[in-house]
Amino acid sequence: MTPVYKLSTSSMASRTTYGSMLAGNPAYSPSFSADFLVVAGGGAGGAQYGGGGGAGGYRELTSISLTKGDVITVTVGAGGATATSGSNSVCGSYTSTGGGRGGSNAFYGASGGSGGGGHGYKDNGSYGPGGAGNAGSYSPVEGYLGGNGGTAQSGASNRHGAGGGGANAASTNASTAPTVGGAGKSSSIDGSATTRGGGGGGGSYCTAGAAGGSGGGGNGGNGVCNGGGGNGFAGTANTGGGGGGGTGDQGVGGTGGSGIVIIAYPDTSPALASIPGTLTYDQPSRSGYRVYRFTAGTGSVTI
């Protein structure tokens, strides 16, 4: 009887086919498509009739090709602390820009993923223009501009800050009242429709501050006349919402909400091979998908 010897690769009609049968060989693993949501940290609201903070840049990307063995960096941007813009969020080669800080008596609304709102009219005759959005120059845009602060003074009636820009809309200019932050965008990437990326509401002098935009933007503080002031509300964590503007002569702006990074792909593809302890995440349920929702930290994940 003729003995049977080990099959040689040289005798195969297709060595690529043979290679694809090697278990665990990433070079021959098929690629698959994933969706990313990358939302940056929102900007802080401004002080003293301050503008609302701009929402963190918002980018939802579909059909991103991944292959087993790929290593991608994930960074969840922090919200802006007092008088600062938000931090960028990153997923692989995709970056969303931190939201611009709201304007105050010391500076104008800053540009960012969405722009910060401008501050209200001051005794020295100055007022604040809003910051521009889409600082990353992406298409489609990652966010919109903040409104201009109140430009004309009649007693204290026009000392109003404007809202920060949102992921889905600009804020409006303040005139006789502080304005609402720009609206955010909705996504169902993690299994349920959630709106994120709302701009912060503008502060005022004697009038209650405006609401933040839909999507976790912070409200402006309550207005206080004759000295003193109310603080703006913080943007909601993991929405990239802008902080609300402060009011009166002493109110400070609210902090921006932190960002979020979400990766989702069909559950016919393997789970992530490794996730470092420097990243905080959970896995919400979405039928037919693996979903990884990163809420803090930075690190490199392996596909």
Q: Report helix, strand or coil for 196.
A: strand
pLDDT in tens, 15-57: 444 444 444 454 446 899 999 999 999 999 999 889 999 999 9
Indicate whether 230 belongs to any domain: yes
pLDDT in tens, 71-126: 999 999 999 999 999 999 999 999 999 999 999 988 899 999 999 999 987 665 56
Indicate whether 7 belongs to any domain: no
Indicate whether 28 belongs to any domain: no
pLDDT range class, residue 2, cuts 50, 70, 90? low
Indicate whether 13 belongs to any domain: no
Indicate whether 16 belongs to any domain: no
79 burial class (0-12, 13-18, 19+ CB within 10 angstroms)? buried
Closest Cα to residue 215, out of 192, 232, 237, 247? 237
Closest Cα to residue 168, out of 148, 198, 138? 198
Closest Cα to residue 37, out of 213, 199, 191, 268? 191
Indicate whether 29 belongs to any domain: no
> Quick check: 6 pLDDT over 50?
no
Domain that holds residue 292: 38-69+84-303
pTM assigned to the model: 0.89
More confident of the two residues 250 and 265: 265
94 CB neighbour count, 10 Å cutoff: 16
Domain count, the chain: 1
